[in-house]
Chains A and B, each alone.
Chain A
Amino acid sequence: MKSTNTKLLIGAVALLVLPLILQGFGNAWVRIADMALLYVLLALGLNIVVGYAGLLDLGYVAFFAVGAYMFGLMASPQLSDNFPAFAAMFPNGLHSPLWLIVPLGAGLAGLFGILLGAPTLKLRGDYLAIVTLGFGEIIRVFMNNLDHPINITNGPKGLGQIDSIKFFGLDLGKNLDIGSYTLSSVSLYYYLFLVLVVVSVIICHRLQLSRIGRAWMAIREDEIAAKAMGINTRNMKLLAFGMGATFGGVSGTMFAAFQGFVSPESFSLMESVMIVAMVVLGGIGHLPGVILGAVLLSALPEVLRYVAGPLQAMTGGRLDSAILRQLLIALAMIVVMLVRPRGLWPAPDHGKSLQAK
């Protein structure tokens, strides 16, 4: 017990000083850590749907998008620029407070999750996968085209000039000076995201142990048996969709504030697939595995960007960093699955549906 506590302490200290060290090498490195944390948040949310309840969702990025656009619309000049009514009410642009947008974004994403879940309750495995995938594409097409005839999403150009996160007088978009030491903006975001991830891990862990979590896992293992034992499978599935989507919505709002810009490009099917890959590659249904998968798949390719230069020179520019990144992700997905089909860090006590047939 004592050794676990020491390990936890070392881990916590390491996570806390990480951005301070990375900052020394340049903000780009802290940015990578920030994005990795956002992906961890997303992967944790998807893990509720796929890992716990066993519902394969290939359109998860849609909820991420809903959150991001919610923040984008409510904290940027977009609505005031395009609607005279809004401009009359908010002459300086709509800058809604964080405490309003984040719950709204989370709630709306959760609602979308339930809306998606409702018609798909009867569907099994792969059918569900393809319907969710379609749902994600529908959302993306709308984001891409709702700039006409009334301009809501600004189409493929995306929403810009989104406010940074401000709370209690602290603006995360600006560097913070503590005495003579400067804490950069990206590091501030790092701490915010870290707090969110820790809170999410605690929520997920508690959920897993709760009656709800057990009900989800019972559904995952054998839906008919779960129903026979008196579990309300319909409500439980909807709850899983809603919960997972809420996580996606929160990460979306954070993403929008962090980037200051959202466009449909960030919410392609590829992103959904990547998040599923993180969950499955790490170890589906197992929190440490999911976190490992998210960090590996999001951070490693970015790091490789920096070593890709020589390779690019060697191949006459054909193999640039973006291509190399894709190549590595693809190979990682194939090789890891071939070598460890249950993921890199699988749960020790896996249910039968996740074990060999």
Chain B
Amino acid sequence: MEILLQQIINGLVLGSMYALVALGYTMVYGIINLINFAHGEVLMVGALTSWTIIGLMRDAWPTSPGWLVLFVALIISCVVASVLNFVIEKVAYRPLRNSPKLAPLITAIGMSILLQTLAMIIWKPNYKPYPTLLPSAPLQIGGAVITPTQILILGLTAVSLAVLMWLVNYTKLGRAMRATAENPRVAALMGVKPDMVISATFVIGAVLATIAGVMYASNYGTVQHTMGFLPGLKAFTAAVFGGIGNLAGAVVGGILLGLIESIGSGYIGVLTGGVFGSNYSDIFAFIVLIIILTLRPSGLLGERVADRA
């Protein structure tokens, strides 16, 4: 029972990180119909930037409180990642908006490789320890443990989601985003500037990805230039799982995926008598994806974007 509770906590933490990244995918897909393969790399750049900032701050002000360092690093990395994502969209995706469908997909893949390579040149390819900035003493909940970092992850995710929902549902920008997702041309006729909306979407996506990246790094304690790839892939799976283009779907998909993955890898050894171990945990996401899409081709909650060829 303790194992189950522990795996549920781990799953929620993992899932909320997937959810944050999945939102970025789903917003971009909902509006410009692009699988932004470079989104996981934005997460990576955010996390590595925060690692550098933390190092600099610790050098300049050794006695600074951990939470403050983490907070400042998070803010600065969000700004860096936002600018980066803004520029990427402008340079690599915008000129291709009316091109054959595969063209922007290929530039997105190219961008993902480019960012990884540049990160490898800038930050060197080795794994870097990510400092523990919050108190590390875990809290006990009914036999399971949860660290302050994990509590922070859950809290930050909840806050980010609330802010995003408010932004999308109650602000002018949100209305413009929804209108553009529905039909960019008609939205433009109504005075919405689609280019601006799309840029804003990329900036918001970058902020969410950076929050996830910094939390991911704090939770696992290492950063490296390839760290964005797998979370990015799984977050996309989560977005498809929930029904791509559907914000609530991305959140539900992310959290469910996190739970499936962590409960699955916790029990697969027991269930199969040790034949399959937790080294198979990475494929749960994909197996779930294939099953869900076979049964419900438009995801769990259905896709919000209109049907298109």
Contact = CB atoms under 8 A, between A and B. Distances in A.
Given A126-B35, A127-B240, A337-B106, A330 B286 contact: no
Contact of A134 (B100, B103, B114, B290): B290
B89 to A, nearest CB: 13
A331 B111 CA distance: 8
B111 A341 contact: no
A145 B281 CA distance: 11
Contacts of B285: 134
B309 A222 contact: yes
A273 B275 CA distance: 31
A149 interface: yes
B114 A138 contact: no
B306 interface: no
B172 interface: no
Contacts of A50: 102
Give the dominant DSSP class at B's interface.
helix
Contacts of A287: none
B45 to A, nearest CB: 15
Nearest to B99: A341
B87 interface: no
B286 A138 contact: yes
Contacts of B143: none
A10 interface: no
B117 A356 contact: no
Interface stretch (B14-22, B55-63, B90-98, B247-255): B90-98
A149 B274 contact: yes
Given A280-B103, A280-B106, A327-B117, A338 B98 contact: no
A125 B96 CA distance: 18
Interface string A292-331: 0000000000000000000000000011000100110111
A146 B295 CA distance: 29
Contacts of B103: 280, 337, 341-342
B95 A338 contact: yes
Query: Size band of the B side of the interface?
Result: 35 or more
A230 B290 CA distance: 29
A138 B281 CA distance: 10
B101 A353 contact: yes
B102 A326 contact: no
A122 B295 CA distance: 10
B290 A135 contact: yes
Interface in B237-296: 237, 240, 244, 274-277, 279-280, 282-283, 285-287, 289-290, 293-294
B106 A276 contact: yes
Contact of B275 (A124, A149, A281, A354): A149
Contacts of A134: 237, 285-287, 289-290
Interface in A268-289: 270, 273, 276-277, 280-281, 284
Contacts of A144: 279
Interface in A102-136: 119-120, 122-127, 129-131, 133-135
Given A127-B293, A354-B100, A277 B286 contact: no
A243 B45 CA distance: 40
A85 interface: no
B289 A333 contact: no
Given A138-B286, A145-B279, A149-B275, A333 B98 contact: no
A357 to B, nearest CB: 6
Given A123-B293, A341-B96, A319 B121 contact: yes
A355 interface: yes
Contact of A138 (B102, B120, B244, B283): B283
A12 interface: no
A312 to B, nearest CB: 12
A56 interface: yes
B99 A356 contact: yes
Given A126-B35, A130-B289, A341-B100, A323 B106 contact: no
B155 interface: no
Contacts of A131: 289-290, 293
Contacts of B99: 337, 341-342, 356
B109 interface: yes
B108 to A, nearest CB: 9
A327 B114 contact: yes
A54 to B, nearest CB: 10
A334 interface: yes
A313 to B, nearest CB: 15
Contacts of B35: 126, 129-130
Contacts of A222: 309
Contacts of A353: 100-101, 309
A356 B98 CA distance: 6
A202 interface: no
B146 interface: no
Interface of B: 29, 33, 35, 92, 95-96, 98-107, 109-111, 113-114, 116-118, 120-121, 124, 233, 236-237, 240, 244, 274-277, 279-280, 282-283, 285-287, 289-290, 293-294, 297, 309
Interface of A: 50, 56, 119-120, 122-127, 129-131, 133-135, 137-138, 141-142, 144-145, 148-149, 222, 270, 273, 276-277, 280-281, 284, 318-319, 323, 326-327, 329-334, 337-338, 341-342, 353-357
**6 closest residue pairs by CB, A with B:** A333-B110, A134-B286, A341-B99, A330-B114, A330-B113, A341-B103
Given A137-B283, A141-B279, A333-B109, 17 more contacts: A50-B102, A126-B29, A130-B240, A131-B293, A133-B233, A134-B290, A137-B286, A141-B283, A148-B277, A273-B109, A277-B106, A326-B113, A334-B111, A337-B99, A338-B95, A338-B96, A342-B103
26 contacts: A56-B105, A119-B294, A124-B297, A126-B35, A127-B244, A134-B285, A134-B289, A135-B290, A141-B279, A141-B280, A145-B276, A145-B279, A276-B106, A280-B102, A281-B106, A323-B121, A327-B118, A329-B110, A330-B110, A331-B110, A332-B110, A333-B110, A334-B111, A341-B96, A341-B99, A354-B102
